[in-house]
Chains A and B, each alone.
Chain A
Amino acid sequence: MTAYRVYSKEEWTSAVKALESHYQVFVPVKDGDFHLFGLLSEGKRPDFDFQNTHLSPKSIVYPQSERMFEYSLDGEDPDAHMLKEAPKDFSPRAIVGIRPCDALAFQRVRVNFDTPRYRDPWWVSRFESTTFVGLGCNAPEATCFCTSVGGGPFSEAGLDVLLYDLGDRFLAKVLTSKGDGLLKKALGGMEADGTLVRQAESLALKVTEAMPAVVPVDGLKDKSVLELFEAPFWEDVAFGCINCGTCTYLCPTCWCFDIQDEVLGKSGDRIRNWDSCMFPLFTLHGSGHNPRGGKVARVRQRFMHKLKYYLDKYNEGVQCSGCGRCVRSCPANIDIRQVAELMNSL
């Protein structure tokens, strides 16, 4: 399967454009001060000269707010009091330029939505209709730590194609038949020769080795849940936290959601929205009791879930892809790398 194609940067731009007739194409675009994923079809100009998008591409598969069902309370309506699935769009889509950390994140999340026992039909359908075209990181940020959590700047996990930025051109490594199919629909490019492939491999090696931060998570597996839970440092960790949802909403691996009914007159929608363990309503019981009622408990929940519970439950690493978004954007500078270190060294 492994094949390589090479594109000059201009070629690549028109190749991406050509995908439009087959996919909804999401590309990184510059939006004010930062980059975000945008739809090519909405006239957005792709910009592959970026570090990472400010928001993760998680919402492309898993929208922040999603109408699940619709219903009518009007007795005259023959379908009254029945939940009807809202119309959905599962047409093929491609995320072009996704960073390896974010692609890894989808894999980490998948264990939750796509299990042998339960399958979230909407997440899975969108995931499966998506082709992931990754772009390796030539210059990871100081806050990136993908290598510490099982990924890497050129990690191929979860990708269908991986692009190497070789200065004036992109080298595309085809990883799956899905990826192959995508490149076939893209125009231009040519077979790459071995020199370029070697150039790419050495770039990948050099960058990976130069990754600055090493976040220790190796000891977590063997720690006792209870001891970690009762560790003395949580209060200090949580002190500065203002309980906003920035970390969880920017995180590519946070998946919690909340279901709300919105009724207008006699028609209603059942909508699911991202939830955040930082919020007071998170796990609030009908009785009014909340097992995670205070700030410290909420902050602890976030880190324990990511770094311990997930690990214990799925044995697929931690629920973190090392993208560093939460580190960069936390208004109170709560740093998961420091917390991981605290937990790891307890």
Chain B
Amino acid sequence: MLLKNLLEHIGLEPGRLHFSWISSAEAAKFVEVANEVNQVVEELGPARFLVKRKARVA
């Protein structure tokens, strides 16, 4: 929670970071969560914040 709050505080879009607790017996939940995360993240589009591509240096 602290991490999520901090990340979102410094500007990570809500919905970029998810937490879930899925036991190995909860296949349906896994699918559900995976799809949901997928959907939310797709709506957000590609991540830019905190993603390093090529170092921005001289």
Contact = CB atoms under 8 A, between A and B. Distances in A.
Contact of B58 (A67, A262, A264, A267): A67
Contacts of A63: 57-58
Interface string A254-272: 0000000010100101010
A264 B54 CA distance: 8
A269 B52 CA distance: 13
A100 to B, nearest CB: 26
A96 B54 CA distance: 32
Interface of A: 63-67, 262, 264, 267, 269, 271
B55 interface: yes
Contacts of B48: none
Contacts of B54: 264, 267, 269
B53 interface: yes
A65 B57 CA distance: 6
20 contacts: A63-B57, A63-B58, A64-B58, A65-B55, A65-B57, A65-B58, A66-B57, A66-B58, A67-B55, A67-B57, A67-B58, A262-B55, A264-B52, A264-B53, A264-B54, A267-B54, A269-B54, A269-B55, A271-B55, A271-B57
Given A64-B58, A66-B57, A67-B58, 17 more contacts: A63-B57, A63-B58, A65-B55, A65-B57, A65-B58, A66-B58, A67-B55, A67-B57, A262-B55, A264-B52, A264-B53, A264-B54, A267-B54, A269-B54, A269-B55, A271-B55, A271-B57
Closest 3 A/B residue pairs (Cβ): A63-B58, A65-B57, A66-B58
Contacts of A64: 58
Contacts, number: 20
Interface in B19-58: 52-55, 57-58
A108 to B, nearest CB: 22
A264 B53 CA distance: 7
Contacts of B57: 63, 65-67, 271
Nearest to A62: B58
B32 to A, nearest CB: 32
Nearest to A88: B58
Contacts of B58: 63-67
A83 to B, nearest CB: 16
Nearest to A260: B55
A65 B58 CA distance: 6
Contacts of A262: 55
A63 B56 CA distance: 12
A65 B56 CA distance: 9
Nearest to B58: A63
B33 to A, nearest CB: 28
A65 B53 CA distance: 16
A267 B52 CA distance: 13
A67 B55 CA distance: 8
Contacts of A269: 54-55
A16 B58 CA distance: 25
A31 to B, nearest CB: 19
Nearest to B53: A264
B34 to A, nearest CB: 24
